[in-house]
Amino acid sequence: MKIKANTIKEITSIKVKGADAMHSLDSYFQRTTAPKSAAQERREEF
């Protein structure tokens, strides 16, 4: 059971890392393709 729990945690952490990477890429492309004001970018960050 411990091995299964560890593998599930590893898989979820990898998924989270992948999602973060995709989100950062999406936000980067959104900024480059559609520039916004600094205030709008700050709102999206938080």
Burial of residue 42 (CB within 10 Å: 0-12, 13-18, 19+) is exposed
The helix or strand, by DSSP H or E, that contains position 28, with its residue range, turns out to be helix 2-33
Measured at the CA of 42, the angle between CA 35 and CA 34, to 5 degrees, comes to 15
Q: One digit per residue, pLDDT tens: the chain, 46 residues?
A: 566 777 877 877 777 777 777 777 777 777 666 555 555 666 655 5
- Supply the range of the domain harboring residue 8: 2-45
- What's the whole-model pTM score? 0.32
Number of domains forming the structure of the chain: 1
Residue 44 CA: distances (Å) to CA of 1, 13, 15, 20, 34: 40, 23, 22, 14, 14
